Amino acid sequence: MKGVIFSGMRPTGKLHLGNYFGALDNWIKLQEEYRCFFGVVDWHALTTGFESTEMMKENIIEMVIDWLSAGIDPEKSTLLIQSHVPEHAELHLLLSMITPLSWLERNPVVKEQVRDLDLKENMGYGLLGYPVLMAADILIYNANAVPVGEDQSPHIELTREIGRRFNSLYHNVFVIPELKLSPTPKILGTDGRKMSKSLKNNINISDSPEIIKTKIMSMITDPEKIRLTDKGHPEICVVFDYHRIFNKKELPKIEQKCRNAQLGCVACKNHLAAILSKSLQSFREKRKYYENNRQLVWDVLNKGSQEARKVTQTTLVEVKKAMRIDYVQ
């Protein structure tokens, strides 16, 4: 084994292509070489979704069904629910003492969320502390690497800074983790912005072929290409970007035909929808199995959370010892 991996996802429901190509695909490959911990980070979901928690349980199961159907193997990796491993919260509290507020206030990810979700003065203390909780999630496993999408890279940098600060204030307890990006770290949504559930521009990996087709048909292409006979500019077209990821084999042909006005946007989109649906077919079939065996998914999470605690409890002992707050009389 090359080392330890931790990564998490917020349980906000079914996964989209951004989650898959930005992170999950990398997780599946890394579980062969690393000791992997994959977390359902439900407390993170509360930082913005604290008002509507009625779907949390369902969202957890839907997301983990996606993980398992895509190829996460509980025999190789430990799957856990953050709130079932309470040491994450205790470490978060301790790390919050040593984290300067200025580090959190300059965090571009939170600024973006406040803007996208129109939070302004409704931003909670928990959302500001998101990177501290994430640092606790990662450092508690002494992870060497964290496979996430590009949007998370400022958070990984903060995790490293917090870990280094702890190590220099007290003792070298924490491994300082590296960011591990996938080859496709930023997937765009159907409107050309970063794919995200909150922007409603997502294509889910579990979407039916009909829904995939409708979503792809709604995508905006090169505005100068209105008719088949207009020459296109693939470099500014999101549909072409998708062909780049899902249809590598035909890419040169599609680019040439688009530029030479031999391929219309409707046909190009239809072709993309068919290819994407086909590539997700076996995933959809596996998904049906877990949908009919939900208890199996809970069993994996319960067992994984217990297993994770063996590691997190050991780390916390080390942390308290280093901080000299391990008093017993």
Smallest distance, ligand ADP to C-beta of residue 267, A: 26
Nearer to ligand ADP, 9 or 297 (CB): 9
- Interface with ligand ADP includes 280 (CB under 6 A)? no
Count, residues near ligand ADP per rule CB under 6 A: 18
- Interface with ligand ADP includes 10 (CB under 6 A)? yes
Query: Which residue of this chain has its Cβ atom nearest to ligand ADP in the complex?
Result: 22
- Whose CA is closest to 188, among 245, 226, 266? 245
Residues 97, 81: Cα–Cα separation, whole Å: 25
Smallest distance, ligand ADP to C-beta of residue 153, A: 9
Smallest distance, ligand ADP to C-beta of residue 327, A: 38
Residues 30, 201: Cα–Cα separation, whole Å: 28
> Which ranges constitute the DSSP H helices of the chain?
17-19, 25-30, 42-49, 56-70, 87-98, 101-105, 108-116, 125-128, 130-139, 153-169, 209-217, 238-246, 251-259, 265-279, 281-291, 294-323
- Interface with ligand ADP includes 13 (CB under 6 A)? no
Query: Of residues 36, 91, 136, 148, which one binds ligand ADP by CB under 6 A?
Result: 148
- Interface with ligand ADP includes 187 (CB under 6 A)? yes
Task: Return the range that interacts with ligand ADP (CB under 6 A); candidates 67-75, 123-131, 144-152, 258-266.
Answer: 144-152
Nearer to ligand ADP, 51 or 75 (CB): 51
- Interface with ligand ADP includes 9 (CB under 6 A)? yes
With beta carbons less than 8 A apart as the criterion, state whether 9 and 19 touch. Answer: yes
- Interface with ligand ADP includes 18 (CB under 6 A)? yes
- Interface with ligand ADP includes 196 (CB under 6 A)? yes
- Interface with ligand ADP includes 244 (CB under 6 A)? no
- Interface with ligand ADP includes 48 (CB under 6 A)? no
Residues 287, 284: Cα–Cα separation, whole Å: 5
What Rg, from alpha-carbon coordinates, does the chain have?
Answer: 22
- Interface with ligand ADP includes 12 (CB under 6 A)? yes
71: left (phi over 0), alpha (psi -120 to 50) or beta: left
Whole-angstrom CA distances from 56 to 14, 48, 50, 117, 257 are 12, 13, 10, 19, 46
Q: Which residue bears the tokens 């979407």?
A: 207
- Interface with ligand ADP includes 204 (CB under 6 A)? no
- Which CB contacts under 8 angstroms, 24+ apart, belong to 102-105? 103/131, 103/158, 103/161, 103/162, 104/128, 104/129, 104/131, 104/132, 104/158
Nearer to ligand ADP, 9 or 60 (CB): 9
Smallest distance, ligand ADP to C-beta of residue 152, A: 4
Smallest distance, ligand ADP to C-beta of residue 40, A: 10
Smallest distance, ligand ADP to C-beta of residue 297, A: 18
With beta carbons less than 8 A apart as the criterion, state whether 133 and 109 touch. Answer: no
Smallest distance, ligand ADP to C-beta of residue 22, A: 2
Which residues bind to ligand ADP, rule: CB under 6 A?
9-10, 12, 18-19, 22-23, 148-149, 151-152, 185-187, 194-197
